[in-house]
Structure 1
């Protein structure tokens, strides 16, 4: 009798399915944590953006020698000064308030309220 040698190189279908099942289980356990951390980072970035924006408005008021009003409403900030602009945010919700910057770059308030969306 002649036996033919078969050279089986590779993985069987069962082995591949087991690996895929393990990967799916791992992703289901860690996927939510990863998405939660991404949301936290987006909120942190938006808070830093607000801080930097208020610094820029203060400098613009000083260098232009004009008063500027910053209004906080819902998910946006409206800047009324030399050029009127509105900035929208995804993760932050602002309580209605206003900050006035005089021509010396000084503000009428030192704080404002933010509600973090989903956190």
Structure 2
């Protein structure tokens, strides 16, 4: 399986922190801070993994999840949010998310989740 991963997170500092961390852990990482940019990256690349923030400025992580899964059903998706809402978690899992993680996120724990999905 490829190590190509997409991170979609509107908090630029947190997004870049995750990008650097996962790059150091042998992932080929691309990131976006909004849904529009994420969709453009998805048109040009095939991602085996995605880390999607639920609340984005222009759409939800679940909308991106649906588009990603429609193009590659085998992609593994971790949905993240500051809002530990059970309804969001249930909706994400129902739409095909493989894991749901609430913020604040420890990068080492996120890496464990990703490696567990491989």
TM-score (norm 1): 0.28
- Higher Cα Rg, which structure: 1
* TM-score (norm: length of structure 2): 0.28
